Structure 1
Amino acid sequence: MNGYARPQRKALLLLAVALLIAGCSGAGGAADGGRSGANASAGPERTVPAASSPYASVVSTLQADVPKMMAAAGTVGLMVTLVDGNETLWSEGFGFADKQAGTPVTANTSFHIGSVSKTMTATAVMQLVKEGKVDLDAPLRQYVPEFTLQPAGAADAITVRSVLDHHSGIPGDVFNGLFTNGGPNPEFRAWLVQALSAMYPERAINQEWAYNNSGYVLLANLVEHVTGSSFEEYTRTHVFDPMGMTQTSFDDAKVDDANLTANYSVAANDDGTPGEPQFQEREYINGWAAGSVTSTANEMSKYLQMLLADGQGADGRVLPAGTLAQMWTPQLSLPIDVLYFQMGLGFALGDPALNWAGPVVQHDGATSWNYSMLQLLPGSTLGVFVSGNTAAPENVAPAVAAKALSRAYTAKTGAAAPPAATLPTSMPVANDSAVAADYAGHYATANGLDSVTADADGALSWARHLGTPAAATSALTPLADGWFAVAGDESTQVQFRTIDGRRLLVSRVPWGPAITEMMSGELLPASSIPAAWAARLGTYLPVDAEPRTTSPFANPTATLADVDGVLMLQLPSEVGSGVLQPASDRQAFTFGIGPALGRGKGNVLQMTATGDSFVFLGVTYRKQA
């Protein structure tokens, strides 16, 4: 459910993505090989346009392209649906729901859709807003009084709107027990509320955009408190039933193994090609409102059609007319929010690869092993949804979605996609030693540490991924337009920028027909590791972690390390490595900004009274003897 770590999910995701998740099936289900890959009476196993349709050639071309794209990425199974208004143009499965048994994916195979679920949670909340039962600008605690942060009163300013548009500052990636193997973790929500009560805000409300799973988990509490119904019951009767989505649910434990795709992971070979897919045990997603929905291609086509019909579902109205326009209006956008999209209420707005075709509404989603993408072109009433069942270095779902939607738009309007963009060409200029010195230092990135150094002549070098096997250094050449060329990387240019007093490293890259800017890092204040923290360097083991947490999100170890004179917390999970800035002898906070902006930054590491343990994101770690 990680979402928004694009353009590249972290090595396994995300990220990795992700993005925000191990060999047999879940408890109580059939073993690998027992899947039918279809939900009985859920609809046709495949829908394609008639030969006379203007979309027929689009779909036939995609039917040839998708298997090639899957093979190149190592994806085992994938489903796709494409709609125009209230018509399903194409709904089909590719590859295997169960590779060992040879069970194919069909349009009736259920997939975890990850953080695309957030759009459905936002739909439920907006129903209550339109009924006058929830005020977007009221404190979240007005509806979820059990939610607290440290110090007392810190959560009071956080509004419902700030949760929906990811500006709340709530610690967002509390993964312990969020994804589990062997069965669901029904106590996760209560555990999260308790864990948050000992945490500090990552940042003040509306300070910067940072993707946030925890806030969305709490929206289930809001719905339950306001309506008196369970979250599953409310969303089933008020969100899914009016669309005729009888096979879709937030309660993923209800889905029989026979109807749910198996999951796989793929690692890259030394030559970059995908390795052999590895079967992974069934996962359960316990933060329901943030990303637990399971659905099929046929059912997601109904969701797309409702979104393109201004809230009208096949069997009833889901949202009052005009509500989606409100949800698709950009909310808070701050100078420091250097993003490739803007944020609405539950939906992201814009996509560099598709903006040429008009306003884009979208949301991606990642679980431990699945990756999904929903995209709409409301102006031309076109929509697509794609989900794959394999965690791989390259996630194919976004590329399939963009290709399908782009080609459908061309078929409908005659407008062809612009050519792929290339970085602007600008003449190199002389180094400026005075300016270069201001750029030098360590930069905290989304998942690690970089450094920029300047020699006596002002020549800059950019060292990336310090302290890791991927460490590499590139010379930076200043250009006349204020950017820097990166030696050996013709697809990236960087710029040093100060926003709100923070020195940032910004990258620009070609993305389809557009040039996109993304945050790469934030300059650390010059400092050394305090003696109290230097004495704590070493490996720590979890004491009270949920043992069933899926492998991409579990931390069998946590390391406090000195990397090039900077204190870092190194975690093997999706949380990754992060710079720590000590605030006292017992507290340190993760620091920086990265491609996902402040995601995961601002979290507190709290040493215990014994001095041999610390608590981070709700888990206690004790130093290894």
Structure 2
Amino acid sequence: MKRRLSWILAVVLTFTMLLPAGVMAESAATTVNYQSIQQLAAEKAELLVKAMGTVSVQYALIDNGNIVVSGQTGLNDEGKIIPLTNETMYGIGSTSKMFATVAVMKLVEEGKIDLDKPLVQYLPEFKMKDERYKKITPRMLLNHSSGLRGSTFPNAFLLGDNDTHAHDTLLENLQEQSLKADPGAYSVYCNDGFTLSEILVEKVSGLDFTTYLHKHVTSPLGMKHTNTPIDKVEAAKFAALYHPAHKGQLPVESVNVLGTGGIYSTAEDLARFSQLFTGQGKGILSDQSAKAMQQEEYKKGLWPDDKDSIINYGLGWDSVKLYPFSNYGIKAVNKGGDTILYHASLVVLPEHNMAAAVLSSSGSSTINTLLANEMLLQTLKEKGTIKEFQPAKSFGKPVKASIPADVLKHAGYYGATSQVMKVAMKENGEMTLSAVTTPELPDQKFVYTADGAFITEDGHTKVNFVTKENGRTYILSQMYQEIPNLGQVALSHFSMEKLAANDISTEIAAAWKAREGKKYYPVSEKYTSIFYLLTDGVKINKVAGLPGYVDDKMITSAVSASNQLNIPGMGSRDTMEYNFITKDGIEYLDSAGMLAVSEDAIKPIYLGKQSTVTIQPNGYARWFSIPEAAASKKLTVTLPTHSSVAVFDEKGTSVRYALGEIKTAVIELPAKGSIVFAGDIGVQIKLTLK
């Protein structure tokens, strides 16, 4: 569940730092000055908290089997009664995929799974409406090349709730989906592949995934603080979570697709886990399997030529050739993880028997990776492995050249997941990329150079247009992004694909014209779903000048649309299909197992002094608009235990959220906003308006 590089949350808080005991004793046994590494890690972690708004950070460094650096900083509980320690657990998000991969590889070693046999041989109940699914193998699940559309997450992200619905219904939901590419054609980040891997492990081993991990991985490694939502763990043992719309600390976030992103751990436990990949498998995983996981799986399908990057997939790993270590000739592998509120990174140097882990509440896995990199690079320098640090890279200030005709033809519309960009060029050497789907973002300006590339004036980003053997034209983006005092991120990938013309009939165009600009509000999510905290729904946007499309999706019928892009890496991840259905005269949007109701069915909230909202037998959440007449009025909501309420302003920003354990929430209503009530069937939520 990886986020884009610019996702750095800005929540400014005041924190204190806790230094671990035992660091000095461990450092005395080696010539490396681990105390200086400890100080560096503490300073950088403090930077994440004070300058980047991260709520809390935890970090650890392991060297030759010994945890030599460990610490944490930031805010935990609001009352400051429960301090952060090295035993405080964080959700590790997609870093959980490494546990799923290890579990599959163990079963491969036992001869129970063959990575290259069809998945249906092990899971005959796995079916899709697209017959190509029969060619999917376990390897394709682990290297992201299955062709699955991405993330089927109904009721997967819950607050204080370990409901297994998302896991239990995945196979059923996949039956309604098609593939977006031939299995094995290219690797594009795919969460569903790892939930399927979780199900595969359960089917072959005969154990539920949590039990399997504890028996075969966490217990043998002494990982005493690694759990899943299935385990019964006191809430006080987790790092605290906060959101501006919620007063006080949030319940623990449960990601109930365990193999995809549902594991909790500590930085020290992840450091211990890293030993499986540094030749210290302790009988859990063979060196052969560890090395197989580190092979360049991304090269097996469509992929740009190797450049400096943080994305180059192995089995499970995001990167098996991690920048900047690749520039020093050092093998480094990395797996990051982002849930909605937790973030994690594990960086391992297999040939140097070292690893660093960084976890956080809020923030970004990319930033966490930079902190892990800093600890490892400084340790390598202390050891003399690195003599001098290399300077930050750039493409230099561009010298403008005229754009030839064969390049000018690449102007037009380009798409990626949830994005459409308009590329405009001038013969004098200027190019502008405009974000059509997010017009509030500033245009990106590039200069054409004599070597055939477009470069930004600051020299940080380089773009080429590439047409591949599949006949598709891509924007090849290479980027060096400097994060002050933390290091540099490098990314080389096909970022977008040129959108093909899509002619549709007059009747189909009319059906979509009727939906243009309308919003569809989620109703099928459970009352504990974090989506009610974050979003008020999906708006249907047509792109001017691009007929036959709605946002990034190609219209395929009067009631369906689908992203048709084939972009390896991240550009076409989560290309879920839109399907519209009508129930009792009301139109709903069905996408990846989630249902959303048309705004046409949303009524204004009752303006009388007293009212009651009852959750109907279908269990759907109840949405209401907030008319101007209700603006700034105070609404007192009496919440039963199994219910929640969320309020959004006119722009769709969450301004107030409360779960049933709060009992009563007093809300100032925003003009032209919306409000949603969710709960168990039959729950009655009482309202008082003043």
TM range (shorter): 0.7 to 0.9
Which residue does 1:29 correspond to in 2? Answer: none
Question: 1:481-496, aligned counterparts within 5 Å?
Answer: 481-486=451-456, 489-496=458-465
Q: Indicate conservation of the 8 Å contact 2:223/2:272, yes or no.
A: yes
2:288 to 322, 335, 341: 322
Q: Indicate conservation of the 8 Å contact 2:180/2:566, yes or no.
A: no
Return 5+ residue gaps in structure 2 as ranges.
12-16, 482-486, 601-690
Q: Indicate conservation of the 8 Å contact 1:223/1:231, yes or no.
A: yes
**Residues 106/615 of structure 1: CA separation in 2 closer, same or farther (3 Å cut):** same
Question: 1:341-380, aligned counterparts within 5 Å?
Answer: 341-347=311-317, 348-357=319-328, 358-380=330-352
Structure-1-length-normalised TM-score: 0.84
Deviation (angstroms), 1:188: 2.1
Which residue does 2:253 correspond to in 1? Answer: 283
Q: What do residues 107-152 of structure 1 show as CA deviations (whole Å, max 9, x unaligned)?
A: 111111111111111111111101100010111222222222113x
Aligned residue identity for 1:499: K
2:442 to 463, 472, 478: 472
Deviation (angstroms), 1:533: 2.2
Which residue does 2:626 correspond to in 1? Answer: none
Deviates more, 1:175-184 or 1:96-105: 96-105
Q: Indicate conservation of the 8 Å contact 1:561/1:568, yes or no.
A: no
**Residues 226/401 of structure 1: CA separation in 2 closer, same or farther (3 Å cut):** same
Question: 1:32-111, aligned counterparts within 5 Å?
Answer: 47-48=23-24, 49-50=26-27, 53-54=31-32, 55-101=34-80, 103-111=82-90
Please say if 1:600 is aligned against 2:573: yes
**Residues 157/62 of structure 1: CA separation in 2 closer, same or farther (3 Å cut):** same
Q: What do residues 334-361 of structure 1 show as CA deviations (whole Å, max 9, x unaligned)?
A: 5632464322211231222322340111
Which residue does 1:336 correspond to in 2? Answer: 302
Aligned partners of 1:520, 1:598: CA distance in 2, in Å?
5
Aligned partners of 2:247, 2:548: CA distance in 1, in Å?
33
Q: What do residues 146-180 of structure 1 show as CA deviations (whole Å, max 9, x unaligned)?
A: 222113x3421110000011101122222321111
Aligned partners of 2:78, 2:566: CA distance in 1, in Å?
40
Aligned residue identity for 1:327: M
Aligned partners of 1:156, 1:595: CA distance in 2, in Å?
21
Please say if 1:124 is aligned against 2:103: yes
Deviation (angstroms), 1:282: 1.8
Q: What do residues 274-300 of structure 1 show as CA deviations (whole Å, max 9, x unaligned)?
A: xx9974332111001111111123322
Deviation (angstroms), 1:12: 5.5
Which residue does 1:307 correspond to in 2? Answer: 277
Deviation (angstroms), 1:399: 2.0
Q: Indicate conservation of the 8 Å contact 1:559/1:569, yes or no.
A: no
Aligned partners of 2:564, 2:148: CA distance in 1, in Å?
15
Q: Indicate conservation of the 8 Å contact 1:85/1:309, yes or no.
A: no
Q: What do residues 438-475 of structure 1 show as CA deviations (whole Å, max 9, x unaligned)?
A: 111111134311101235x4655323222435333344
**Residues 439/569 of structure 1: CA separation in 2 closer, same or farther (3 Å cut):** closer
2:394 to 398, 415, 422: 422
Which residue does 1:558 correspond to in 2? Answer: 538
Aligned residue identity for 1:586: V
Deviates more, 1:90-99 or 1:194-203: 90-99
**Residues 568/373 of structure 1: CA separation in 2 closer, same or farther (3 Å cut):** farther
2:112 to 133, 152, 157: 133
Aligned partners of 1:465, 1:414: CA distance in 2, in Å?
44
Aligned partners of 2:70, 2:376: CA distance in 1, in Å?
13
**Residues 564/190 of structure 1: CA separation in 2 closer, same or farther (3 Å cut):** same
Structure number with the bigger relative contact order (C-alpha 8 A, sep ≥ 6) is 1
**Residues 374/600 of structure 1: CA separation in 2 closer, same or farther (3 Å cut):** same
Which residue does 1:8 correspond to in 2? Answer: 6
Q: Indicate conservation of the 8 Å contact 1:567/1:580, yes or no.
A: no
Aligned residue identity for 1:344: G
Aligned partners of 1:122, 1:148: CA distance in 2, in Å?
22
Aligned partners of 1:486, 1:277: CA distance in 2, in Å?
42
Q: What do residues 23-43 of structure 1 show as CA deviations (whole Å, max 9, x unaligned)?
A: xxxxxxxxxxxxxx99xxxxx
Q: Indicate conservation of the 8 Å contact 1:426/1:481, yes or no.
A: no
**Residues 65/473 of structure 1: CA separation in 2 closer, same or farther (3 Å cut):** closer
Structure-2-length-normalised TM-score: 0.76
Aligned partners of 2:428, 2:437: CA distance in 1, in Å?
25
**Residues 161/71 of structure 1: CA separation in 2 closer, same or farther (3 Å cut):** same
Q: Indicate conservation of the 8 Å contact 2:153/2:166, yes or no.
A: no
Q: Indicate conservation of the 8 Å contact 1:591/1:601, yes or no.
A: no
Deviation (angstroms), 1:218: 1.5
**Residues 485/345 of structure 1: CA separation in 2 closer, same or farther (3 Å cut):** closer
SS of the residue 1:622 aligns to: strand
**Residues 431/266 of structure 1: CA separation in 2 closer, same or farther (3 Å cut):** farther
2:418 to 438, 443, 447: 447
Deviates more, 1:162-171 or 1:414-423: 414-423
SS of the residue 1:192 aligns to: helix
**Residues 325/622 of structure 1: CA separation in 2 closer, same or farther (3 Å cut):** same
Question: 1:579-590, aligned counterparts within 5 Å?
Answer: 579-590=552-563
Aligned residue identity for 1:563: V
Deviates more, 1:439-448 or 1:549-558: 549-558
1:211 to 180, 189, 214: 189
Which residue does 1:503 correspond to in 2? Answer: 473
Aligned residue identity for 1:494: V
Which residue does 1:619 correspond to in 2? Answer: 594
Q: Indicate conservation of the 8 Å contact 1:444/1:594, yes or no.
A: no
Aligned partners of 2:488, 2:542: CA distance in 1, in Å?
42
Q: Indicate conservation of the 8 Å contact 2:143/2:297, yes or no.
A: yes
**Residues 513/549 of structure 1: CA separation in 2 closer, same or farther (3 Å cut):** closer
Which residue does 1:574 correspond to in 2? Answer: none
Q: Indicate conservation of the 8 Å contact 2:186/2:300, yes or no.
A: yes
Aligned partners of 1:554, 1:142: CA distance in 2, in Å?
40
Q: Indicate conservation of the 8 Å contact 2:9/2:54, yes or no.
A: no
Which residue does 2:674 correspond to in 1? Answer: none
SS of the residue 1:333 aligns to: helix
Which residue does 1:260 correspond to in 2? Answer: 238
1:397 to 368, 383, 386: 368
Aligned partners of 1:467, 1:170: CA distance in 2, in Å?
25
Deviates more, 1:123-132 or 1:195-204: 195-204
Deviation (angstroms), 1:593: 6.0
Q: What do residues 252-290 of structure 1 show as CA deviations (whole Å, max 9, x unaligned)?
A: 5522112111113479xxxxxxxx997433211100111
Deviates more, 1:129-138 or 1:477-486: 477-486
Aligned partners of 1:228, 1:253: CA distance in 2, in Å?
18
Aligned partners of 1:6, 1:424: CA distance in 2, in Å?
24
Deviation (angstroms), 1:590: 1.5
Q: What do residues 528-568 of structure 1 show as CA deviations (whole Å, max 9, x unaligned)?
A: 67333223322223342334321389653222211223479
Question: 1:191-202, aligned counterparts within 5 Å?
Answer: 191-202=169-180
SS of the residue 1:79 aligns to: strand
Return 5+ residue gaps in structure 1 as ranges.
17-36, 39-43, 268-275, 571-577
Q: Indicate conservation of the 8 Å contact 1:201/1:603, yes or no.
A: no
Q: How many residues align?
A: 572
**Residues 186/523 of structure 1: CA separation in 2 closer, same or farther (3 Å cut):** same
